Amino acid sequence: MEKKLLLILLLFLPFALASSPAELRLLRGNIVNKRENEKKRANVTLPDYHLYHTMASLLQQVKNIVDRHPSIMQMEIVRSEVDGYSTEMSVVTVSPGGWSVSEMKEESAASEKLRLLLDFGGHARELVTSEVALRLLQMLGGEHDLSKVAGAAVVARLLPHSIIKIVPMENTNGRRRVEAGHLCERKNGRGVDTNRNWDVDWGKKEKDYDPHEEYPGTSAFSEPETRILLQLAKSFNPHVWVNVHSGMEALFMPYDHKAMLPLDQGAAAMQKLLQTLNGQHCSGKCVVGSGGTSVGYLSHGTGTDYMYDSLKVPIALTFEIFGDFSAPNEDCFRMFNPITPAQLESVISKWAPIFFSLLCHLPETLMSMPMRTVKAPWRVNSSSSYTIQDPRLLKQIISLKSHTNHPRSPHVWYGMDALAEGKSLPAVDLQTSTQLYFIFTLMLFLLSCFRCSRFYKRLFKVLQFRSNT
């Protein structure tokens, strides 16, 4: 009898131990957490790599475009390493007017050219930005329709006077983590937000600071990504810097680290430019202003603020090109990227042409910059190429009278006639058009006179008589 009781106690002992309050709470917690995680996974959108390019595929596409257009495009792979952490970055230089001798020797860009530095893919989870960069390169190579470009005739005149550097994917190490399944990753390969690693108000943390989102690194320029971009900006001396992100639709100018606009008329010129672009490409619906006054939080150590305040780049901008506010917090891919083919094409076809519109309005914006912008930031030192050597050049390339017939060359982008679709925008010859108009009018007059003449009436009677007989 005692043995039977002992056996029954041994059988029920595990259940008795598991029935303790602490164990029951832990068991319930594990079940609840498992259910919540399953629910979150059900709400997560996975990238469709039939719709989006993988990192390797996109960079290969970029290389292919450059290889097809060696007369106007060059690409270099820039590598950097800091404390055992390394990265590499593809930089495409587009010179639609062909390569000058100095450019072929990889010296600084000719000072008389308009220079744009465009940075895409800085935050790893924002895949759509690199897709826009790819489309932009296709358009610059004449491989994609430019019919949606506003002011196409002006753009055709300005492109030969411009040089554009494009970084299609800044954060390659972070992108690898996204493609490995870390869909909410925005930082680089060692957990640093490169758009918080610049030396303007670096390291300052707001009350809502989240190290998982915006860890700025151990010091300003501690990361190889920002060091590459810094050296690129210093050597290139751009008139325009644009840092492209997603998360909302906005056209931002400095400042990100304080809730205010710069206190000069240069800021007014930038704001006017953004308002124009907003009307042309956002139907007036994009947020326009400074990031610090519009986003709802301050960002310290951003590239745009450094370009404007420290490197004195005249026009420093941040474009935010997409955001899905209905997406749950855990669905990072959907929050920052369109998920259907139609939606993706809509975003790309809307934002890739904006850089041509920006170029179209660039000369007048630069010409309206005040003394503070023209004489200080454009002359950083005696060897700076910010100063446009011939002040008549900008007036010439913006003037409607400057559109002359250039000799055609297969090696130079001379306007829309270089498009693969065969579209062309020939110059409007007012004199020829006027002559044709007068000739046409004279012919109508002569026909009218002939109709009223006696000879016409006799001819008409003869023809009528023959028809009756």
* 376 assigned to some structural domain: yes
Asked whether 321 and 129 are in contact (CB, 8 A), the reply is yes
Identify the CATH number of the domain in which residue 162 sits.
3.40.630.10
How would residue 417 be classed by pLDDT, with cut points 50, 70 and 90?
A: very low
Query: Is 135 in the same domain as 29?
Result: no
| Domains in the chain, number | 3
Q: Which of 320, 345, 364, 421 is catalytic?
A: 320
DSSP 386-438: -S-S-THHHHHHHSGGG---PPP-TTS--SGGGSTT--------HHHHHHHHH
pLDDT, tens digit (0-9, with 9 covering 90-100), for 356-389: 999 999 999 998 886 444 433 333 232 333 334 3
How would residue 409 be classed by pLDDT, with cut points 50, 70 and 90?
A: very low
User: How confident is the model at residue 52, as a pLDDT?
Assistant: 98
Residue 351: helix, strand or coil by DSSP?
Answer: helix
Query: Is 374 in the same domain as 440?
Result: no
State the average pLDDT over residues 289-312: 93
User: How confident is the model at residue 316, as a pLDDT?
Assistant: 97
Q: Which residue has the tokens 């390169």?
A: 137
d(CA 30, CA 153): 65
Lowest mean pLDDT among 77-91, 120-134, 246-260, 394-408: 394-408
End-to-end CA, the chain: 141
Give the residue ranges of DSSP H helices in 264-414: 265-281, 291-294, 303-309, 332-336, 341-351, 354-367, 371-375, 392-398
Range of the domain at 216: 55-395
Quote the longest CA-to-CA distance of the chain.
144
Told to judge if 214 belongs to the known catalytic residues of this protein, a careful annotator would answer no
User: How confident is the model at residue 5, as a pLDDT?
Assistant: 52
Joined together, the tokens standing for residue 162 give 């411009």
User: How confident is the model at residue 41, as a pLDDT?
Assistant: 54
* 386 assigned to some structural domain: yes
Residue 324: helix, strand or coil by DSSP?
Answer: coil
The H or E element containing residue 93 is strand 85-94
User: How confident is the model at residue 328, as a pLDDT?
Assistant: 94
Query: Is 326 in the same domain as 437?
Result: no
DSSP 456-467: HHHHHHHHHHHH
pLDDT, tens digit (0-9, with 9 covering 90-100), for 216-266: 999 999 999 999 999 999 999 999 999 999 999 999 999 999 999 998 878
State the average pLDDT over residues 398-413: 39
* 94 assigned to some structural domain: yes
Query: Is 30 in the same domain as 133?
Result: no
User: How confident is the model at residue 418, as a pLDDT?
Assistant: 38
Query: Is 348 in the same domain as 384?
Result: yes
Query: Is 278 in the same domain as 234?
Result: yes
* 136 assigned to some structural domain: yes
* Residue 325 phi, psi (nearest 5): -75, -10
Query: Is 456 in the same domain as 336?
Result: no
Asked whether 213 and 89 are in contact (CB, 8 A), the reply is no
* 49 assigned to some structural domain: no
State the average pLDDT over residues 178-190: 97
110 pLDDT higher than 70: no
Joined together, the tokens standing for residue 22 give 């602490």
* 8 assigned to some structural domain: yes
* 410 assigned to some structural domain: no
State which of 373, 395, 417 marks the end of a domain.
395
Lowest mean pLDDT among 52-56, 121-125, 208-212: 208-212
Joined together, the tokens standing for residue 371 give 């003394």
How would residue 468 be classed by pLDDT, with cut points 50, 70 and 90?
A: low
pLDDT, tens digit (0-9, with 9 covering 90-100), for 32-79: 454 454 445 557 999 999 999 999 999 999 999 999 999 999 999 999
Residue 110: helix, strand or coil by DSSP?
Answer: coil
Q: How many CA atoms lie within 13 A of 185 on its CB side?
A: 20
* Residue 115 phi, psi (nearest 5): -120, 125
pLDDT, tens digit (0-9, with 9 covering 90-100), for 127-163: 999 999 999 999 999 998 776 677 888 888 899 999 9
* Residue 348 phi, psi (nearest 5): -65, -45
User: How confident is the model at residue 464, as a pLDDT?
Assistant: 59
Mean pLDDT of the chain: 79
410 pLDDT higher than 90: no
* 321 assigned to some structural domain: yes
Lowest mean pLDDT among 19-23, 233-237, 251-255, 396-400: 396-400
Find residue 76's DSSP bridge partners.
Answer: 91
**Residue 364: partners with Cβ closer than 8 Å, 6 or more residues away:** 398
d(CA 36, CA 433): 72
Distances from the Cα of 406 to the Cα of 16, 207, 277, 303, angstroms = 93, 59, 29, 39
- In 10 A of CB 289, how many CB atoms? 17
Residue 365: helix, strand or coil by DSSP?
Answer: helix
396 pLDDT higher than 50: no
d(CA 253, CA 289): 6
State the average pLDDT over residues 306-310: 96
Prior bond of 255 cis (ω within 30°): yes
Top pLDDT among 443 and 65 is at 65
